[in-house]
A and B are shown apart, each in its own frame.
Chain A
Amino acid sequence: MTTRESEERPSPALRAEALEQLLTERKLIDPKVVDSMITEYETNVGPLNGAKVVAKAWTDPQYRRRLLEDGTAAIKELGFSGPQGEHIVVVENTATTHHVVVCTLCSCYPWPVLGLPPSWYKDPAYRSRVVKEPRTVLAEMGLDLPEDVQITVHDSTSEVRWLVLPERPPGTEHLSEERLVPLVTRDTMVGVAKVEAP
Chain B
Amino acid sequence: MDGIADMGGTDGWGPVRAPRADEPVFDQSWQGRAFAMAILSSRLACGGPNPDAFRHALERLDRAAYLDDGYYGRWLNGAELMLTESAFLAPGALEARARNLRGEHVEEPPVREPVLPDYKRTATGSLRTVNTEPAFAVGDRVRAKDISPPGHTRLPRYVRGHAGVVDVIQPAAVFPDTNAHFLGENPQHVYSVRFDSRELWGAKAEPAMVTAELYESYLEAIA
Report A's interface with B, CB cutoff 8 A.
1, 5-6, 9-10, 12-23, 26, 28-29, 33-34, 37-38, 41-42, 46, 86-87, 89, 102, 104-107, 115-116, 118-120, 122-137, 140-142, 150-160, 185-187, 192-193
A28 touches B55 (CB 8 A): no
Chain A residue nearest to B24 in the complex (CB): A42
Q: A42-B25, A131-B158, A158-B176 are in contact. List 18 more A-B contacts (CB 8 A).
A: A10-B98, A14-B102, A15-B95, A16-B33, A17-B30, A18-B94, A19-B34, A21-B97, A41-B32, A42-B26, A104-B6, A105-B6, A124-B13, A132-B197, A134-B208, A153-B209, A158-B215, A160-B213
Q: Once the chains bind, are A160 and B44 in contact (CB under 8 Å)?
A: no
CB atoms of B213 and A153 under 8 A apart: no
Cβ of B19 < 8 Å from any Cβ of A? yes
> Would you give the shortest CB distance from B49 to chain A, in whole angstroms?
9
Residue of B nearest to A162 (CB): B211
Task: Please report the C-alpha to C-alpha distance between residue A52 and residue B168 in the assembled complex, in whole angstroms.
Answer: 26
User: Cβ of B9: which chain A residues have Cβ within 8 Å of it?
Assistant: 104, 128, 131-132
Number of interface residues of B (CB under 8 A): 91
DSSP class of B's interface residues: helix, strand, loop or mixed?
A: mixed
Q: Once the chains bind, are B94 and A17 in contact (CB under 8 Å)? A: no
Find out whether the CB atom of A105 lies under 8 angstroms from the CB atom of B18.
Answer: no
**21 A-B residue pairs with CB within 8 Å:** A12-B69, A12-B76, A13-B28, A14-B101, A15-B94, A19-B80, A23-B88, A26-B111, A37-B32, A41-B35, A104-B7, A105-B55, A107-B71, A123-B16, A128-B13, A131-B210, A140-B16, A151-B207, A155-B211, A158-B173, A158-B214
Which B residues are in CB contact (< 8 Å) with A18? 94-95, 97-98, 100-101
Least Cβ–Cβ distance between B27 and chain A, in angstroms: 8
- B residues near A, CB below 8 A? 5-11, 13-21, 23-28, 30-37, 39-41, 44, 51, 55, 58-59, 64, 67, 69-73, 76, 79-80, 88-89, 93-95, 97-104, 111, 125-127, 154-156, 158, 168, 170-171, 173, 176, 190, 192, 194, 197, 200-201, 205-215
